Structure 1
Amino acid sequence: MDLPDCVNARDLGGTPLAGGATIRMRALLRSDNHDLLTEAGIAAVRELGVGRIIDLRHGWEAREFPSPFVDDEIYRNLPLLGVYPGFDPTAPDDYRPEVDHAPERVAAAFTAFAEAPPGPVLVHCHAGRDRAGIMTAIALAVAGASHEAIVADYTATEGAEAKTMQDLLDHFDSEHGGVPAYLANGGVSPHHLTAVRERLTGVPGQDS
């Protein structure tokens, strides 16, 4: 997507699913933080008809680098992750301890996605790599994307290593029984899982 001056802005539409299906266009969008958007970029977001912006940054980040949409009804600041015991910001990327530490935060962001009004849902963090990568990976997994497809989207972001996302997806499977089970344990309802799946695929389904 062309959202001046955003980076890592893209539509997840076209991501392959099982059976030859794909994620719908303009259902799930991702980007970096919006405080550098030009007037043209702000107008471009509005022209997309975005139904909800989910800002996954910490509260202090949202205050220091405010979104131009902060006063809009579509905007939600829902910090995805907390600082877990033993957190080391200098360590190599590893999202597994983070998602284990903050299932209720992940569930809150996912629920906001599920309850979004019509229109694309745009998720972002600061750089558009880590927290946005986790959230989009979770949404794609719920929709039925393979690990390979999720990793391919993640590594389209500069600096993102395939192993980081593959380790996270394997962790969801081995330690939590899969992404839907992880979300359910965090408080996400079957109705919300179904709502996101339908939103991303366009295929009606029964509650999981």
Structure 2
Amino acid sequence: MNTVPDTPGVNHRMPRATGLRPGIAHRSGDVTAFTAEEAGVLAERHGLATVLDLRSAPEVERYGPPRGFLAHGVRWLRVPLTGYPRDTIAARRPDVADRARYLHGILTDSVPGSWTRLFRALAQVADRPFLITCHFGKDRTGVVTAALLSLAGASAREIAADYAAGTADLLAAADRFRDKWLRRGHTREDYLSRLRTSPVTMERWLAEVDARYGGIGPALAGVGVAGGDMARVRDLLSVPAHPGAPDSEAPPDSDAPPGPVPAGPAVSRGPVPTDSAVPPGPVQADSDQADSVQAGPVLPSRSSVRSAAADRGAATPGGSGDPAAPGGTEKALR
């Protein structure tokens, strides 16, 4: 599924599914694993403009910012999904039911407002290629990607296949996460088990969402996602109804053929709420979530981001170059 040589980063790919604009969405784990060269290929050749980072403030502090992307002027937005229960996967080797409950907790029990801010940011940046990322790129990123694919019209089978596609890369990168299994008292074999992403887990979770809420749309509305933001994200991600329309052009180098996964029955998107016809407003920083950011109403070009970064220099408050500064917007390395 990767279209960049030598599989950059960890668990990176561009999902391909029915209804999804080719090349618009990227997903990955450990955004710090991308070299500057790999990030440059994604930014310059594939048009990647924004990284949406789901990691918590402690994770960013421990592992660092996406330096490779920042070096190429890619925008870094911190939209953390945190606060959900982890006891559901406390066992050394959680089963499918445990894992599905864990995914559900990410959707329903993250810090209030998290999903609202995430979709508000997506509504402002998803007109250009973007990357969704967390630590492993499998659970938080998996739930967000599943929601986006569902809104675009993908089937449950396609969504589950995309979720499962990361197993090989995660297992190959297992030793990169050695500190985590040692801190938790797990063996390497235990952790390899936890890194596996079975399609059955995702299929079970999607079925539960359909049964409880009637689809992804109502479920997202239930956690505070505005109808206007949801509708805009759906429209930005979806292949236009008229293929000849100007906006049907794929981002650069996105002409690789889709994977062999058959579409299967569509997962229920449910009705997208229409509670607001007003264009999405700026993402507001939350005083209780210092690692949230303002997405800003207009996404500048990469060249203007680089130029602005150079001009800001020491004149920018907090100009130490610390991208994790509370209440700050994205910053390019200087």
Q: What TM-score, normalized by structure 1, do the two folds share?
A: 0.84
The one of 143, 146, 150 equivalent to 1:134 is 143
**Unpaired segments ≥5 residues, structure 1:** 17-21
Q: Counterparts of 1:59 and 1:11 in 2: how far apart (Å)?
A: 26
- Relative to 1, partners in 2 of residues 1:87 and 1:105: Cα closer, same or farther, differing over 3 Å? farther
Retained in 1: the 8 A contact 2:221–2:273?
A: no
The one of 56, 63, 66 equivalent to 1:65 is 63
Aligned to 1:168: 205
1:48-89 per-residue CA deviation (whole Å, 9 max, x = no partner) reads 222321111111111211221469672111122324285553
- Relative to 1, partners in 2 of residues 1:176 and 1:189: Cα closer, same or farther, differing over 3 Å? same
AA in 2 matched with 1:45: L
- Relative to 1, partners in 2 of residues 1:84 and 1:140: Cα closer, same or farther, differing over 3 Å? same
Report SS of the residue matched to 1:76.
strand
Q: Counterparts of 2:211 and 2:43 in 1: how far apart (Å)?
A: 40
AA in 1 matched with 2:20: I
Moved more, 40-49 or 153-162: 40-49
Aligned to 1:78: 79
Q: Counterparts of 2:84 and 2:104 in 1: how far apart (Å)?
A: 13
Aligned to 1:28: 25
Superposed, which structure 2 residues align to 1:1-208 within 5 Å?
1=2, 2=4, 5-12=8-15, 14-16=16-18, 22-47=19-44, 48-66=46-64, 67-68=66-67, 69=69, 74-84=75-85, 86-90=87-91, 92=94, 93-94=99-100, 95-102=103-110, 104-116=113-125, 118-158=127-167, 159-203=196-240, 208=274
Please state how far the C-alpha of 1:134 moved relative to its aligned partner.
0.8
Retained in 1: the 8 A contact 2:10–2:33?
A: no
Retained in 1: the 8 A contact 2:20–2:153?
A: no
Report SS of the residue matched to 1:127.
coil
Q: What TM-score, normalized by structure 2, do the two folds share?
A: 0.55
Please state how far the C-alpha of 1:5 moved relative to its aligned partner.
4.0
Structure 1 runs, 4 residues or longer, greater than 6 Å off: none
AA in 2 matched with 1:151: A
Please state how far the C-alpha of 1:207 moved relative to its aligned partner.
7.2
Retained in 1: the 8 A contact 2:115–2:225?
A: no
- Relative to 1, partners in 2 of residues 1:202 and 1:89: Cα closer, same or farther, differing over 3 Å? same
- Relative to 1, partners in 2 of residues 1:185 and 1:58: Cα closer, same or farther, differing over 3 Å? same
Moved more, 79-88 or 188-197: 79-88
- Relative to 1, partners in 2 of residues 1:117 and 1:197: Cα closer, same or farther, differing over 3 Å? closer
How many equivalent pairs are there? Answer: 201
> What's the C-alpha RMSD, in Å, of the aligned pairs?
2.5
Aligned to 1:19: none
Q: Counterparts of 2:233 and 2:62 in 1: how far apart (Å)?
A: 31
- Relative to 1, partners in 2 of residues 1:88 and 1:160: Cα closer, same or farther, differing over 3 Å? closer
Q: Counterparts of 2:134 and 2:30 in 1: how far apart (Å)?
A: 6
Query: How many percent identity over aligned positions?
Result: 27
Report SS of the residue matched to 1:9.
strand
Retained in 2: the 8 A contact 1:51–1:117?
A: no
Please state how far the C-alpha of 1:110 moved relative to its aligned partner.
2.5
AA in 2 matched with 1:34: V
